[in-house]
Copies of this chain bind each other. A is one copy, B any other.
Amino acid sequence: MHETADLVIRPATGADLPAIVAMLADDPLGATRESPDDLTPYVAAFKRLTEDPHQHVMVAVRGERVVGTLQLTFVPGLSRRGSTRSIIEGVRVHADERGGGLGTRFIEWAVERSREEGCRLVQLTSDVSRTDAHRFYERLGFTASHVGFKLQL
C-alpha cells in the first residue's frame, strides 16, 4: 500500500524526529555521526529550528510513513545586489524509495519554494565521496562551481 500512496511534502513535527534521525543515521557518513538511540540532542535542536522562521525542516510522507527529509534555510545577504539565497542541507531519502524519483521531486520542491521566497540562488554542498549525488544535482541544473570547506570545532 505504501508504494502507491500519494507523496506529501510538509513541515516536520516533533513526532517525525525518530524517523528523521533513523534516515540521517542510515547513510555511509551519517552512521558514524548520529545517535539514533539517544534523541535528546535532536529534540533540543528541533526546538532551535522551530524558533527560527528562516529554517524549514521538511519531511516527505507516503501514506503514514516518513520517507524523506531535508532542511531548507533562507539566508539574506549583501552580495549579488542584496540577494537572498537558500541553502539545502541534510537531504535523506529512505532506502526503500531510492531511485524512485522522490529525491528529484523533493529538490524541485525546495527550488520552487526558494523561488517563491524571492531567492536568487539555491546552494548546497555534498561530500566529495558522494559521486552519485553529484550527478543527481547536475541533472537538476546545479553547477559544481565551488569548493566546499569545513572546519570541525
In the complex, which residue of chain B has the Cβ closest to the Cβ of A90?
A: B79
Tell me which residues across on chain B come within 8 A of A52, comparing CB atoms. 54, 76
Q: Does A11 contact B (CB under 8 A)?
A: no
Chain copies in complex: 2
Do A151 and B141 contact each other (CB < 8 Å), given the known contacts A89-B75, A123-B125?
yes
In the complex, which residue of chain B has the Cβ closest to the Cβ of A115?
A: B153
A34–B75 Cα distance when bound, in Å, is 18
Interface positions of A from 30 to 66, Cβ below 8 Å from B: 30, 33-35, 41-46, 48-49, 52, 54-55, 57
Interface positions of A from 132 to 153, Cβ below 8 Å from B: 134, 137-138, 140-153
Q: From A17, A49, A79, name the one whose CB has the most chain B CB atoms within 10 angstroms.
A: A79
Tell me which residues across on chain B come within 8 A of A102, comparing CB atoms. none
B143 touches A41 (CB 8 A): no
A102-146 to B contact mask, C-beta < 8 Å, 1/0: 000000000100110001111111111000001001101111111
A41–B21 Cα distance when bound, in Å, is 40
A20-B78, A146-B150 known, 17 other contacts, Cβ within 8 Å? A33-B79, A45-B82, A55-B75, A55-B76, A75-B87, A75-B89, A119-B153, A120-B153, A121-B152, A121-B153, A124-B149, A125-B147, A127-B145, A127-B147, A128-B146, A142-B151, A146-B148
